[in-house]
Amino acid sequence: MARHLITSALPYINGIKHLGNMVGSMLPADVYARYLRQRGHDVLYICATDEHGTPAELAAKEQGLPVAEFCASAHDAQKAIYDGFALAFDHFGRSSSPQNAELTQHFARRLNENGFIEERAIRQVYSPADGRFLPDRYVEGTCPHCGYDKARGDQCENCTRVLDPTDLINPRSAISGSTELEVRETSHLFLLQSKLQGEVEAWIDEVADEWPQLASSIARKWLTEGLHDRAITRDLDWGVPVPADTWPTLAADGKVFYVWFDAPIEYIGSTKEWADAAPEENRDWKSWWYEPAGASDVRYTEFMAKDNVPFHSVMFPATEMGVREPWKKVDQLKAFNWLTYYGGKFSTSQKRGVFTDQALDILPADYWRYFLIANAPESDDSSFTWEHFTATVNKDLADTLGNFVNRVLSFSKKRFGEEVPAGAEAGAPEAKLGDEIASLLSDYETQMETLQFRKAAAALRALWSAGNSYLEEKAPWLEIKTNPEGAALTLRTAMNLIHLYAVVSEPFIPSSSAAMRAAFALPNDTATWVTQEEAKSLDSLPAGTPFTVPPVLFAKITDEDLETYKERFGGAPE
């Protein structure tokens, strides 16, 4: 049985993420990791905050904090939100960790020894007032294309055109505001990706057929356009320093590695953090990443939105190949399109859209987890609307699942007491139901194993619906008048369905699943999954088992709630 290494795109440190970030990487990775753990696999789910780069320094400056202090605080704030969403990371690290610095410098030295790094002189904007070279984002000005006066030196946020700092009209330093800027010569390290193009192409031909079309097409497009040598250092105060033993002059100039060089290495760094955090457990981090240390039996799956695909499908594998060491490369890359808000961008400044901290203030995590995965932007972009969210929560969660649980347990308690009733022997309707549940469960497993999340949600919903259809067909509220034993059988079968739902729904709605499972006093209930035989027989919950009626699992969203949410977060554009 393969071990499963799972990573999701590192959330950037400057600010709380919106729902699109959640569904495009961390949440589906968590759902998959939970599922694999339940099926008995050895799973390691690793993530971290991405803390280096210009935006981190600028965000710290805006808050008047040292960048290290800002990043530490922002990491804790993000981690608290992910805990609130019940993301079960094995470790959630920091790219500013000593482990990542050590590994990044190791990778750079090895690339240099193998002839894949070159020092080159380039011309760059310099600010005498600040006494430093300015990275792209430290230069602001007016966009020459649309006239937006707060465009950055790498891209205009308004019209999205890619820019060079020298393109800007009336450029100024983002640090001091000084307009007295010069263009001077300085040196940086370049990763010679062009020399690795053939190796990356051969590897992509080997592995990418297993990837979703979105991921493989992006990777192949980049390779078709040709891999270009890329600067991997920047003039920043915050980052992994260039090692003085290899590049003494650049180190003396304070150069640090570019965030997109060190960030993917943090997947390995965070795994080492995980090992170092519990030395008494003798965790072997290298066995997950380094082939001679045992990583040959690891299946590595990455989750990310489409904008991150080039870095993880082409650039980081090129880095791994260039070090000429047997580091584990990705086996499956699950990429997602965008989640939009009524067809437009989420925007903090324009107060449009729901961000993850706000989401948890409004409703419990399971509402969001289920909706987002059931509507994951897999084949195309998908749009969040409050109307769609409300309809999904009310129909799927409140009516189909929550109401089923409540009415079965409430009715059984009222007519048969607080223990699972025995009733008659199972008959043809129960056999038919068992076959249907086994078939639906098999479909659910297939969709989960092939990372088809929307289809997995549909299969889970079909499992819930099957219980409702059985209940409507048997109608125990009528059956009890003429056949109490038959009604008891119906309710016992339905309670077995509730227990089955509690087990198999856990990857999607872990808190609600725990509440369903806790309704039954089964001291030896150690089941992590449901076998096909158990699904067919529906008798794992014996008669006489004490039970309680849990609080309402999912409250319906009212029309008044809907209008309140739209007013607070913005509705459809005018």
The 10 Å Cβ neighbour count of residue 171 is 21
Burial of 279 from C-beta contacts in 10 A (0-12 / 13-18 / 19+): exposed
Q: Is 47 annotated as a binding residue?
A: no
Question: Of 226, 219, 193, which Cα lies nearest the Cα of 205?
Answer: 219
| Spatial separation of the C-alpha atoms in residues 419 and 147, rounded to whole Å | 72
Tokens 């020092």 -> residue: 119
The 10 Å Cβ neighbour count of residue 182 is 10
**CA 11 vs CA 17, 408, 448: distances in Å:** 8, 42, 24
Contact 317, 327 (CB under 8 A): no
Residue 243 DSSP symbol: P
CA dihedral 269, 108, 105, 5 (to 10 degrees): 10
Contact 172, 141 (CB under 8 A): yes
Contact 288, 271 (CB under 8 A): yes
Q: Is 166 annotated as a binding residue?
A: no
User: Residue 389: which residues within 8 A CB-CB, separation 6 or more?
Assistant: 371, 557
Contact 270, 100 (CB under 8 A): yes
Sign of the dihedral through C-alpha 21, 22, 23, 25: positive
User: Residue 141: which residues within 8 A CB-CB, separation 6 or more?
Assistant: 149, 151, 153, 168, 169, 170, 171, 172
DSSP of 386-441:
HHHHHHHIIIIIIIIIIHHHHHHHHHHHHHH-SB----SPP-HHHHHHHHHHHHHH
| Spatial separation of the C-alpha atoms in residues 526 and 19, rounded to whole Å | 34
Q: Is 156 annotated as a binding residue?
A: yes
Output the six-digit token pair for 317: 């594998």
Contact 437, 536 (CB under 8 A): yes
| Spatial separation of the C-alpha atoms in residues 235 and 239, rounded to whole Å | 9
Residue 338 DSSP symbol: P
| Spatial separation of the C-alpha atoms in residues 304 and 451, rounded to whole Å | 13
Contact 487, 415 (CB under 8 A): yes
Contact 267, 285 (CB under 8 A): no
Burial of 380 from C-beta contacts in 10 A (0-12 / 13-18 / 19+): exposed
Q: Is 71 annotated as a binding residue?
A: no
The annotation places the binding site at 143, 146, 156, 159, 348
Binding-site entries for Zn(2+): 143, 146, 156, 159
Q: Indicate the annotated binding residues for ATP.
A: 348
